C-alpha cells in the first residue's frame, strides 16, 4: 500500500475549494456569505451589552432614569431583528451546505470512477483492490466530515475571532494584550499536541485502507481458506492488522482527547486573569489606551469578560477541528491522487468501421453488415484508405518487460494468417499470457512491431483494436444482472435473438432455458448460483455475440467437466470457424488440431510447428506431450 504524503496542505485545500466552486459556482459563494453574516452577528451582543451597561452606569450616577427603559427596549429590539436574520441565514446555509456537501462527494465519486475506466491495466495489476475501494468509503467519509462540519466551523470561528478581536482592541488595549498572551499559550499547546495527533490520524487513515483490502482478499478467497484449514492463520493476520489500526487510532485519539481539557483549562485561567486585570485597572484608574476613547469602567470590563470567553471558545473550536481537517486533507490527497493518475495513452487514429463491398470497393456505412474495415486517414495528403479486416496478426522481433531491466519476452516473432489457430505452450511464466496482453495493447511493447492486417497496432485506436479481438479468460467474470445482460455485454446493441443465437452456438441455450427465469434469471456475486462450467459457457457466449475476427482463448474449457467440455468444444469449433484464434494451452490434448503450436520457454520461442511436426522433432514439446516432465 502506497503511503499518503500530504506535501502541500495549503494548495490541496485551495484545490478542494476550487473544485467545490467549480461544481457550485453560485450556491457556494452564497453559503460563504451566510456563514460570514452569522459569525458577525454572534459578536454583536458584546456591543449591545456595553451600551446597555454604559447607559445604566451613567444614569446611576445622575439618578435620572427617564427614557432609560425605552432605550434598553430599542437595543433589545434591534438585537432581536439581527438574531431573526441570523436564524434565517443559518437555516438557508445549512440547507444549501447539505446539497453542496453530498453533491460534491457524488461528483468526486463520479470523477474517480470515470478516471478508473481510463486507467491502464497496469494500474489495476499494481494496486490493492481494497485500498482502491477505501477511496470511495473511508476517504470520501473523511472528506464529508471536513466539508460539512470542519470548513463551516473553521470559517465561523475565524470570522468570530477576527470580529471579537477588533472589538476588544477598540474597547481596551491592555485587556486585549492579556487575552493575546493567553491565546499564544493555547496555540503553542495546540501545535505541540495537535501535531502528534495529526500524524497518527493520517496513519489511521492508511491502516483503514489496508484492513479493508485484507478483508476483501479474505472474502474473495474464503473457499481456499477453508479447503486448506487456514482459518487460524487468517485470524492471526487480521489481528495483526487490526492491532496496528488500534494503536494508530489510540495514539491519535489520546493526543486529541488531551488537547481539549488542556485548552479548556487555559481558557478558564485566562478568564480569571482578565477579570483580575480588569479589576486592577478599575481600581488604579489606569488609562484605557483604546480607540473608542471610553474611560475604563464596568461597561468595558463585563462585556470584555464575555468576549474573552467567546474568543477563547472559538480558538478552542479551531483546535478541535484540526484533526478532522488533517484526516480530510489526507483523504482528499488520496482522492486527487487517483483523479490525477495518468490515463491510458491514446495515440491511435486508425478506426474500425462497418463497410459493404461494391464492385470490389469498400464503402463505409452505419449499419452492421458483417464486414469490417480499418479506416486509415493519411495526414500527408488527406486521403483515406480502407483495409478489410481479415484477422491477419503478426509479431516482429518483439521484446517486452513489465519492469525495466526484467525482460519477459525476447525477440518474439510469429504470424497468424486469417482463420489459423495458433496455440501457445509452455511452463508458467514462459510469456503465454503476456503475448495476448500485448495483442490487446493492455501493455505496450519495448521493441519490435505488432501488425493487424498489415497495420501497426500502435496506429489503431485501442477501443477499436479491442473490438476486433474477442477474449475468453480462464477465470470467468459475470456481472450483476440477468443472463441476457451478461451475454449482451459483448455487444451492447445486440438483440435478444442475437444473444440467444450466440448461446445456442456455444451450447449454453439448453441449461439457460432450464434456469428459473431462463434468460431473465438474475445473476449476483459473479453467478454464484451457477456451476463453474455454466459460468464459463455464458462468458463464451458473451465473446460469441461480439463476433470478432480474432479470438484469444485462455484455455476456456479447462475448468469444465468432461461431458460439458464436449458440448462446449463443439460450440467453440463453430465459434472459431473462419476466425484467427490464439489459444493459451494448459492441457496439450486441446491443441492437437492447431495449425501452429508455439513452444515458449523463459520468454523465447524454442519450437514451432504443428502437432505432428513437433512430435517428430522429439524436442521439448515431445517431452511435454509424452509426460517426460510436467508442463506446469
The pLDDT of residue 204 is 76
Three-state SS across 534-578?
Answer: HHHHHHHHHHHHHCCCEEEECCCCCCCCHHHHHHHHHHHHHHHCC
Q: How confident is the model at residue 623 (pLDDT cuts 50, 70, 90)?
A: confident
The predicted pLDDT at position 25 comes to 93
pLDDT number for residue 405:
80
Query: Which tens digits make up the pLDDT trace of 360-373?
Result: 889 999 888 888 99
Pairwise CA distance, residues 60 & 299, whole Å:
12
Q: How confident is the model at residue 291 (pLDDT cuts 50, 70, 90)?
A: low
- What pLDDT was estimated at residue 29? 93
Q: What is the mean pLDDT of residues 397-405?
A: 88
Quote the CA–CA distance of 163 and 105 in Å, as a whole number: 32
In the numeric block, which cell numbers belong to residue 317?
Answer: 473550536
Whether 591 and 597 have beta carbons less than 8 Å apart is answered as yes
Whether 547 shows a pLDDT value over 90: the answer reads: no
Q: What's the rounded Cα separation, in Å, for the pair 499 and 518?
A: 13
Tally of helices (H runs) and strands (E runs) in the chain? 20, 16
What is the pLDDT, as a whole number, of residue 351? 93
How much is the average pLDDT of 115-123?
A: 88
**CATH 1.20.1560.10 occupies which residues in the chain?**
9-339
Determine contact, residues 557/565, Cβ cutoff 8 Å.
Answer: yes
CB-based contact 582:552 (threshold 8 Å)? yes
CB–CB of 592/580 below 8 Å? no
C-alpha grid cell for residue 285?
484608574
Inform me whether the pLDDT recorded for 200 exceeds 90: no
Task: For residue 406, list its beta bridge partners.
Answer: 403
Mean pLDDT of the chain: 83
DSSP bridge partners of 469: 550
The yes-or-no verdict on residue 114 having pLDDT over 80 is yes
Which residue's C-alpha cell is 455475440?
A: 545
pLDDT greater at residue 227 or residue 342:
342
Q: Report residue 130's pLDDT band, with 50, 70 and 90 as the boundaries.
A: confident
pLDDT in tens, 416-465: 999 899 999 888 788 888 998 899 999 988 889 999 999 999 999 998 99
> Quick one: pLDDT at residue 631?
44
* pLDDT at position 7 over 60: no
Mean pLDDT of the region 313-330: 79
Tell if the pTM clears 0.85, that is, is over it.
Answer: no
What average pLDDT does the segment 599-613 reach?
90
More confident residue, 288 or 411: 411
Q: How distant is the alpha carbon of residue 424 from its chain centre?
A: 36
Q: What is the pLDDT of residue 630?
A: 46
Kind of pairing, strands 580-584 and 550-553?
parallel
Phi/psi at 430 (5° precision): -75, -20
* pLDDT for the residue numbered 452: 95
- Mean pLDDT throughout 530-553? 87
pLDDT of residue 4: 45
**CB-based contacts of 585: which residues, under 8 Å, 6+ apart?**
423, 424, 425, 432, 555, 591, 597
Mean pLDDT of 559-566: 65
Confidence of residue 161 (pLDDT cuts 50, 70, 90): confident
Question: What's the pLDDT at 632?
Answer: 42
Average pLDDT over residues 584-590: 74
Task: Tell me the pairing of strands 580-584 and 421-426.
Answer: parallel
**Residue 629 scores a pLDDT above 60:** no
Q: How far apart are CA 173 and CA 181, in angstroms?
A: 12
Q: Give start-end residues of each CATH 3.40.50.300 domain in the chain.
A: 393-626
**pLDDT at residue 526 greater than cutoff 90:** no
- The rounded percent of the chain whose pLDDT value lies above 90 is 23
pLDDT reading at 534 higher than 50: yes
CATH number for region 9-339: 1.20.1560.10
pLDDT, tens digit (0-9, with 9 covering 90-100), for 492-518: 888 999 999 999 888 889 889 999 999
Q: Assign domain 393-626 to its CATH architecture.
A: 3-Layer(aba) Sandwich (3.40)
Band the pLDDT of 2: cuts 50, 70, 90: very low
Tell me which DSSP letter residue 449 carries: E
Mean pLDDT of 379-388: 88
Amino acid at each position: 500500500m502506497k503511503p499518503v504524503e500530504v506535501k502541500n496542505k495549503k494548495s490541496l485545500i485551495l484545490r478542494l475549494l476550487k473544485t467545490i466552486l467549480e461544481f457550485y459556482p453560485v450556491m457556494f459563494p452564497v453559503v460563504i456569505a451566510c456563514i460570514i453574516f452569522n459569525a458577525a452577528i454572534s459578536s454583536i451582543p458584546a456591543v449591545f451589552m456595553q451600551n446597555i451597561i454604559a447607559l445604566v452606569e451613567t444614569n446611576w450616577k445622575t439618578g435620572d432614569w427617564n427614557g432609560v427603559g425605552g432605550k434598553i427596549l430599542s437595543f433589545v429590539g434591534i438585537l432581536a431583528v439581527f438574531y431573526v436574520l441570523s436564524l434565517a441565514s443559518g437555516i438557508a446555509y445549512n440547507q444549501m451546505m447539505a446539497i453542496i456537501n453530498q453533491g460534491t462527494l457524488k461528483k468526486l465519486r463520479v470523477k474517480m470512477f470515470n478516471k478508473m475506466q481510463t486507467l491502464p491495466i497496469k494500474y489495476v495489476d499494481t494496486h490493492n483492490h481494497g485500498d482502491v475501494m477505501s477511496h470511495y468509503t473511508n476517504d470520501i467519509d473523511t472528506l464529508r466530515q471536513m466539508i460539512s462540519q470542519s470548513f463551516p466551523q473553521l470559517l465561523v470561528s475565524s470570522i468570530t475571532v477576527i470580529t471579537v478581536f477588533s472589538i476588544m482592541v477598540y474597547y481596551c488595549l491592555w485587556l486585549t494584550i492579556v487575552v493575546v498572551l493567553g491565546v499564544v499559550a493555547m496555540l503553542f499547546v495546540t501545535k505541540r499536541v495537535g501535531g502528534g495527533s495529526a500524524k497518527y490520524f493520517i496513519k489511521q487513515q492508511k491502516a483503514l485502507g489496508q484492513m479493508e483490502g485484507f478483508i476483501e482478499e479474505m472474502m474473495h478467497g474464503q473457499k481456499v481458506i477453508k479447503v486448506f484449514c487456514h482459518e487460524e492463520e487468517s485470524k492471526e493476520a487480521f489481528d495483526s492488522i487490526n492491532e496496528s489500526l488500534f494503536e494508530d487510532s489510540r495514539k491519535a485519539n489520546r493526543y486529541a482527547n488531551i488537547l481539549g481539557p488542556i485548552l479548556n483549562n487555559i481558557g478558564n485561567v485566562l478568564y480569571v486573569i482578565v477579570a483580575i486585570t480588569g479589576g486592577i485597572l478599575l481600581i488604579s484608574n489606569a488609562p484605557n489606551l483604546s480607540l473608542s476613547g471610553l474611560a475604563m469602567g464596568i461597561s468595558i470590563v463585563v462585556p470584555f469578560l464575555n468576549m474573552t470567553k467567546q474568543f477563547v471558545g472559538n480558538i478552542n473550536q479551531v483546535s478541535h477541528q484540526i484533526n478532522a481537517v488533517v484526516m480530510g486533507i489526507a483523504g482528499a490527497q488520496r482522492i486527487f491522487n487517483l483523479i490525477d493518475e495518468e490515463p491510458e495513452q491514446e495515440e491511435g487514429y486508425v478506426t474500425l468501421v462497418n463497410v459493404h463491398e461494391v464492385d470490389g470497393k469498400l464503402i463505409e456505412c452505419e449499419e452492421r453488415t458483417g464486414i469490417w474495415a480499418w479506416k486509415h486517414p493519411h495526414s500527408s495528403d488527406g486521403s483515406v484508405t480502407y483495409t478489410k479486416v481479415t484477422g491477419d496478426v503478426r509479431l516482429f522481433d518483439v521484446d517486452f518487460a513489465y519492469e525495466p531491466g526484467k525482460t519477459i519476452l525476447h525477440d518474439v516473432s510469429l504470424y497468424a494468417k486469417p482463420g489459423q489457430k495458433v496455440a501457445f505452450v509452455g511452463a508458467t511464466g514462459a510469456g503465454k499470457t503476456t503475448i495476448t496482453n500485448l495483442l490487446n495493447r493492455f501493455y505496450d511493447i519495448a521493441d519490435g512491431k505488432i501488425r493487424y492486417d498489415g497495420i501497426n497496432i500502435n496506429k489503431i485506436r485501442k477501443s477499436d483494436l479491442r473490438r476486433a479481438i474477442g477474449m475468453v479468460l480462464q477465470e470467468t467474470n459475470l456481472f450483476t444482472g440477468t443472463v441476457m445482460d451478461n451475454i449482451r455485454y459483448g455487444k451492447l446493441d445486440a438483440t435478444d435473438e442475437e444473444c440467444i443465437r450466440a448461446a445456442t452456438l456455444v451450447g449454453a441455450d439448453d441449461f439457460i432455458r432450464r434456469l428459473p427465469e431462463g434468460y431473465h434469471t438474475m445473476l449476483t456475486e459473479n453467478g454464484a448460483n451457477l456451476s463453474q462450467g455454466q459460468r464459463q459457457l455464458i462468458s463464451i457466449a458473451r465473446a460469441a455475440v461480439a463476433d470478432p475476427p480474432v479470438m484469444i482463448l485462455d484455455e476456456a474449457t479447462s475448468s469444465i467437466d468432461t461431458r460439458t467440455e464436449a458440448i462446449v468444444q463443439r460450440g467453440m469449433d463453430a465459434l472459431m470457424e473462419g476466425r484467427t484464434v490464439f489459444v493459451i494451452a494448459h492441457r496439450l490434448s486441446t491443441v492437437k488440431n492447431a495449425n501452429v503450436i508455439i513452444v515458449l520457454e523463459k520468454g523465447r520461442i524454442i519450437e514451432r510447428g504443428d502437432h505432428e511436426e513437433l512430435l517428430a522433432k522429439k524436442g521439448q514439446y515431445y517431452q511435454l506431450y509424452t509426460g517426460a516432465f510436467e508442463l506446469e
